[in-house]
């Protein structure tokens, strides 16, 4: 007879910060990378968004590293295997990072989550399930989890997709915009030339959105 048990243990997570040289207190932009990436990739993306230089940019690295193609190292937020447990653990991890950031840096209370690809799903989970309520959520090339219908806690959303993205399909993009509308969540959408990536048009649109959020 086979039996399965769950044991809670502790592991170390990692995050990276880019802090402005002046202008404290700072707004906080927290990013979640895509599947197979590390925090460095997401931090680089956050820094490319126009106007982000005045924000503390924080890229949180997923807890599950693995060897990717060609010997590189990547990380994943979760798989279908033990998904609910992974979500709970990820949210506890993110809450702890944000609490630590609040103790370490002078923050002005403005919080925006940014997620790319699989990280977009994690940004949504953080907004809906976490202890720290964001002013806005930015989603690039990644879907809103199907199990969540009421999305009010996201407050305001920037949702974007490259026109030729084969991983985040047009029908998913349209479905997600419909879900935001059904929840009466104000959103800005950006469809830009390119694939599963951040194009120049996206970076400008995302920058304008950040400016709007910070000026509210």
pLDDT attached to residue 207: 98
The CATH number for 14-215, chosen from 2.40.50.100, 3.40.50.1820, 3.30.390.50, 3.90.180.10, is: 3.40.50.1820
Contact 56, 17 (CB under 8 A): yes
Q: Which residue has the tokens 């400008």?
A: 204
Which residues on neighbouring strands pair with residue 159, listed in sequence order? 139, 189
Residue boundaries of the structural domains of the chain:
14-215
User: pLDDT tens digits, the chain, 216 residues: what are they?
Assistant: 899 888 888 889 999 999 998 889 999 999 999 999 999 999 999 999 999 999 999 999 999 999 987 779 999 999 888 888 999 999 999 999 999 999 999 999 999 999 999 999 999 999 999 999 999 999 999 999 988 889 999 999 999 999 999 999 999 999 999 999 999 999 999 999 999 999 999 999 999 999 999 987
pTM for the structure as a whole: 0.95
End-to-end CA distance of the chain: 60
Side by side, the strands of the sheet bearing 107-116 are 14-18, 56-61, 26-32, 107-116, 136-140, 157-162, 187-192
């Amino acid at each position: 007879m086979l039996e399965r048990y769950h044991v809670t243990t502790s592991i170390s997570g990692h995050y990276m910060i880019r802090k402005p040289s002046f202008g404290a207190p700072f707004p906080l932009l927290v990013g979640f990378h895509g599947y197979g990436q590390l925090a460095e990739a997401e931090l680089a993306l956050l820094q490319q968004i126009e106007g982000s230089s005045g924000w503390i940019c924080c890229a949180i690295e997923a807890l599950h590293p693995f060897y990717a193609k060609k010997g590189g190292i990547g990380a994943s937020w979760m798989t279908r295997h033990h998904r609910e447990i992974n979500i709970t653990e990820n949210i506890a991890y993110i809450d702890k990072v944000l609490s630590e950031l609040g103790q370490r840096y002078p923050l002005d209370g403005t919080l925006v989550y940014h997620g790319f690809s699989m990280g977009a799903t994690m940004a949504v989970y953080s907004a809906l399930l976490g202890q720290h309520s964001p002013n806005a959520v930015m989603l690039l090339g990644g879907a809103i989890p199907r199990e969540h219908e009421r999305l009010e806690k996201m407050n305001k959303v920037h949702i974007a997709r490259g026109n030729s993205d084969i991983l985040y399909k047009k029908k998913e993009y349209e479905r997600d915009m419909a879900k935001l509308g059904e929840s009466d969540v104000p959103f800005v959408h950006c469809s830009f030339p390119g694939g599963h990536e951040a194009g120049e048009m996206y970076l400008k649109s995302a920058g304008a959105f950040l400016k709007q959020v910070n000026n509210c």
